């Protein structure tokens, strides 16, 4: 327990201290515009002189025709500049301001109360901060030949703060998770994101602290932009974790990458369980066509380390999107893995997804998902067939989710699941 509080104090000190390594006096930097295709760790600030390279998929033509559903690197801090409505609402009620907000983009997170919860400071090292909260819950009905059960699941209950230092090249984020888990204690899972980020080097972001670990595409994606109510099976087992360490993200027209050296500990269970490397590289053959022929990504990565036992997870990804259509495929294979639990099993799996945007607000999608929890044992494959609808009332800030899942397990009875979810990001 003392170690946990000690780590928290160190992280808070880093967040509140003036950054020693940010010395640039670059162009004036505005609020975050996140890349639609490459969902990178953090895209707090974009200099006017380098917008093309920080956001290679976004220009007028690309934004008109493409709203990419499947992203690469998790955008932990997002501010949608395109969401500003054209009306003067200073004298209107809070409800009126929310009602008139034009939040239409769905490939990045957006916030209902971004303006109301953003504060600027004239004195001190911090220029401005934005507070936020997020909730996602769903009614879950499970049908099997022998049973029927309905329950309400809490997927997301988070609150946090993101901010800019006055040097304009260094930013920070602190996020707290209030959802209980069967895999770790409340205090161990309380702090999810706690890091600082520097963008002094062109095309790069350097992140120091506890941030999302890019183990696969689906496993490293932002919770607020997932196309379905739940991640794929390889993401649920191998990924969807944070790690404490140093991470470098690079983004160019034809390639982007994420390289990290971390401690292999998960959820602050111990101070240093062992070393870990996590890397992912994407090739973007159409990166210089401004979205004219769509967006095509080929990627691969490796997660390897030691946490009581050695583990290695490899993965590959292919994704394509054009106008209203998107499709992707991801495969992962593990010789031991370090996700929500540490396992020595040799597991593997893959999923493929198709998505079509009927209107800007209504999306239809389907996924086939297969997972082998232990390749040394036969007859234990798990398959999920999912059909889904997303209705974006206010972008990802206010979203309704409807999923039907047919679960086909070789060593247990099949089941049907209907999920009705709600997502709210303030």
Q: What is the pLDDT of residue 65?
A: 40
Give the residue extent of every domain in the chain.
2-130+157-356
pLDDT, one tens digit per residue, over 246-304 is 999 999 999 999 999 999 999 888 888 999 999 999 999 999 999 899 999 999 999 99
Q: What is the pLDDT of residue 236?
A: 95
Q: What is the pLDDT of residue 182?
A: 84
Q: What is the pLDDT of residue 167?
A: 87
3-state secondary structure the chain: CHHHHHHHHHHHHHHHCCCCCCCCCCCCEECCCCCCCCCCCCCCCEEHHHHHHHCCCCCHHHHHHCCCCCCCCCCCCCCCHHHCCCCCCCCCCHHHHHHHCCCCCCCCCCCCCCCCCEEECCCCCEEEEEEEEEEEEEEEEEEECCEEEEEEEEEEEEEEEEEEECCCCEEEEEEEECCCCCCCCCCCCCEEEEEEEECCCCCEEEEEEEEECCCCHHHHCCHHHCCCCCCCHHHHHHCCCEEEEEEEEEECCCEEEEEEEEECCCCCCCCCCCEEEEEEEEECCCCCCCCCCCEEEEEEEEEEEEECEEEEEEEEEEEEEECCEEEEEEEEEEEEEECCCEEEEEEEEEEEEEEEECCCCEEEEEEEEEEECCCCCCCCCEEEEEEEEEEEEEEECEEEEEEEEEEEECCCCCEEEEEEEEEEEC
pLDDT, one tens digit per residue, over 154-181 is 999 999 999 999 988 999 999 999 998 8
Q: What is the pLDDT of residue 92?
A: 59
Q: What is the pLDDT of residue 325?
A: 96
Q: What is the pLDDT of residue 106?
A: 82
The structure's pTM equals 0.78
Q: What is the pLDDT of residue 77?
A: 45
Q: What is the pLDDT of residue 412?
A: 87
Q: Which residues of the chain have pLDDT under 50?
A: 1-72, 75-91
């Amino acid at each position: 327990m003392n170690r946990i509080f000690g780590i928290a104090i160190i992280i808070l000190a880093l967040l509140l201290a003036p950054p020693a390594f940010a010395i640039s006096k670059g162009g004036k930097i505005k609020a975050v515009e996140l890349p639609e295709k490459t969902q990178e760790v953090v895209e707090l600030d974009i200099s006017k002189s380098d917008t093309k390279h920080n956001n290679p998929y976004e220009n007028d033509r690309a934004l008109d025709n493409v709203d990419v559903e499947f992203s690469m690197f998790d955008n932990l801090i997002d501010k949608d500049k395109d969401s500003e409505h054209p009306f003067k609402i200073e004298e209107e009620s809070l409800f009126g301001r929310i009602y008139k907000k034009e939040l239409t983009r769905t490939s990045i997170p957006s916030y209902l109360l971004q303006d109301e919860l953003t504060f600027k400071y004239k004195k001190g090292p911090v220029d401005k901060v934005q507070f936020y909260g997020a909730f996602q819950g769903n009614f879950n009905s499970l049908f099997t030949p022998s049973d029927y059960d309905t329950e309400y699941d809490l997927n997301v209950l988070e609150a946090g703060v993101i901010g800019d230092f006055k040097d304009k090249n260094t930013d920070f984020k602190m996020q707290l998770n209030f959802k209980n888990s069967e895999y770790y204690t409340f205090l161990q899972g309380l702090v999810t994101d706690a890091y600082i980020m520097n963008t002094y080097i062109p095309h790069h972001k350097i992140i120091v602290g506890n941030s999302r670990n890019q183990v696969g595409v689906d496993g490293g994606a932002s919770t607020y932009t997932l196309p379905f109510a739940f991640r794929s099976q390889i993401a649920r087992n191998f990924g969807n974790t944070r790690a404490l360490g140093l991470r470098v993200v690079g983004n160019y027209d034809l390639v982007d990458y994420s390289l990290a050296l971390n401690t292999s500990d998960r959820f602050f269970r111990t101070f240093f369980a062992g070393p870990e490397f996590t890397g992912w590289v994407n090739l973007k053959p159409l990166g210089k066509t401004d979205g004219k022929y769509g967006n095509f990504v080929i990627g691969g990565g490796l997660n390897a380390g030691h946490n009581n036992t050695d583990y290695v997870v490899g993965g590959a990804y292919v994704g394509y999107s054009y106008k209203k259509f998107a499709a992707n495929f991801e495969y992962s294979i593990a010789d031991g893995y370090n996700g929500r639990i540490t396992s020595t099993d040799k597991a593997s799996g893959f999923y493929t997804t198709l998505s079509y945007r009927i209107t800007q607000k209504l999306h239809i999608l389907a996924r086939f998902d297969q997972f082998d929890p232990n390749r040394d044992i036969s007859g234990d494959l798990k398959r999920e067939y999912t059909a889904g609808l997303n209705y974006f009332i206010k972008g990802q800030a206010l979203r309704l989710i409807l999923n039907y899942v047919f679960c086909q397990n070789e060593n247990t009875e099949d089941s049907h699941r209907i999920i009705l979810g709600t997502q709210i990001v303030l």
